[in-house]
């Protein structure tokens, strides 16, 4: 692999690192630079324990075009999973620093994730989709699951895919209710107006949570 290609592969890590430099006073100057449309699954084991979250994140066309520049492929404009293998590894490695933008509570207790598994990239319709599984450090049975996906610095904008079943339960042991809440533009705008300058400093760069996508799962 050439030095130029290696530099290209680091693109996602570099772009994410820029987030800390883009936190500036004033809500009007806070905006995302990468857009992700996601589909996710809550994964259960046969014994009914929750083992993790499986994500499929589709990046916007501009970021996707940047990310594959310089990559070698047998067919121009077409990339196989194998040809994207190194890029997938760079993506998940860089995401670790940001906790994979995924935060879970099971029965009210914070449940950390461990290193991702089954990760791979797909290139389709000129857009990249990153597939990966986030295993819980310890599988657990829970009746209440609360999940948030967001970038605290709001450098990356996340949204669930439109249409049916953007979030599903994989091998759920019973009948559970799933509620998805997407960011409400009017509510978010009102909250942003109430924020002071201190909320936009690097030390307090949590305002991205205002744009969180939340999932609540309740099981009998």
**HEC assignment per residue over 171-197:** CCCCCCEEEEECCCHHHHHHHHHHCCH
Nearest to 120 by CA among 36, 31, 54, 23: 54
| Segment 45-100, tens digit of pLDDT | 999 999 999 999 999 998 888 888 888 888 888 899 999 998 898 888 888 888 89
Mean pLDDT across 13-23: 42
Note the pLDDT of residue 102.
Answer: 96
- What DSSP string runs through 42-53? EEE-TTS-EEEE
pLDDT at 114 over 50: yes
Give the best-scoring range by mean pLDDT among 78-82, 184-188, 192-196: 78-82
Mean pLDDT across 130-149: 95
The reported pTM is 0.81
Note the pLDDT of residue 24.
Answer: 37
Phi (first) and psi of residue 130, to 5 degrees: -95, 120
Residue 175, CB-side half-sphere exposure with 13 Å CA sphere: 0
Q: Domain residue spans in the chain?
A: 3-15+49-218
Note the pLDDT of residue 195.
Answer: 55
pLDDT bin (cut points 50, 70, 90) of residue 19 is very low
Note the pLDDT of residue 110.
Answer: 94
Q: Please, are residues 20 and 110 in contact by the beta-carbon 8 Å criterion?
A: no
């Amino acid at each position: 692999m050439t030095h130029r290609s290696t530099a290209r592969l680091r693109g996602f890590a570099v772009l994410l690192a820029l987030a800390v430099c883009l936190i500036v006073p004033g809500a009007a100057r806070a905006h995302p630079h990468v857009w992700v449309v996601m589909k996710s699954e809550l994964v259960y084991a046969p014994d009914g324990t929750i083992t993790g979250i499986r994500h499929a994140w589709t990046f916007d066309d501009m970021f996707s075009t940047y990310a594959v520049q310089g990559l070698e492929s047998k067919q121009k404009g077409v990339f196989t999973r194998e040809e994207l293998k190194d890029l997938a590894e760079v993506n998940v490695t860089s995401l670790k620093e940001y906790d994979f933008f995924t935060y879970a509570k099971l029965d009210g207790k914070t449940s950390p994730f461990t290193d991702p598994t089954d990760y791979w990239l797909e290139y389709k319709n000129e857009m990249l989709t990153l597939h990966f599984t986030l295993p819980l450090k310890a599988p657990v049975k829970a009746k209440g699951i609360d999940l948030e996906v967001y970038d605290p610095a709001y450098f990356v904008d996340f949204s669930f895919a439109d249409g049916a079943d953007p979030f599903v339960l994989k091998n759920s042991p019973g009948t559970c209710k799933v509620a998805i809440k997407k960011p409400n533009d009017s509510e978010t705008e009102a909250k942003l107006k109430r924020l002071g300058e201190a909320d936009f400093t690097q030390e307090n760069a949590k305002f991205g949570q205002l744009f969180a996508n939340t999932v609540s799962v309740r099981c009998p």
